[in-house]
Amino acid sequence: MARIGYARTFTTDQNLAAQIAALRNAGCEVIREEQKSGASLEGRPQLMTILDFIHAGETFVITRIDRLARRDLQVIVDRLKAKGAHLVATEQPVDTSTAAGKAFFDMLGVFAEFETNLRRERQAEGIAAARKRGIYKGRPPKINRAEILLRLQQGQGPSKIARDLGISRGTVYQVRKGVFE
């Protein structure tokens, strides 16, 4: 069956040639390439085209997992699995058509989640320490309570206030009820 390659770099300054050569050596008949961030699926039309049109039995080939995604990796694999397609990484022991490849991929996912949780914990600890020292004040409030109350007193409706200030109508109602005292 077909092997479809995907090469990606973060910026246009980086060169895709090595990835493309590796994908050709892996037997890819079609290679799609992008120079976009891997943080999200959004804004990656070449990846989305592959995910939309890949067929059962076909193999999606990348050089390394980090070339594919960071957060949305499991989403991509689930979409491939739902279509009956497989994922292979040429430089890592990932081949979701085999038991060992699936296990390795699942372990990568566990470690990625573990790393994310550790990062969150360290961030929370840092914020708590900064608060104790009086350095961290948090994000500035998005809503201006006084502005909302003034507009309400002037007779403006919640929908117009929300639209003008870029907030939800619910926020306007909460200010009117006194929730944000």
Closest CA to 96 of 84, 109, 107, 87: 87
pLDDT tens across 130-159, in order?
989 988 888 787 788 899 999 999 999 999
Is the pLDDT at 180 greater than 70, yes or no? no
Is the pLDDT at 164 greater than 60, yes or no? yes
pLDDT tens across 54-73, in order?
999 999 999 998 888 877 88
Closest CA to 148 of 108, 112, 115, 177: 177
* Whether 165 contacts 147, CB under 8 Å: yes
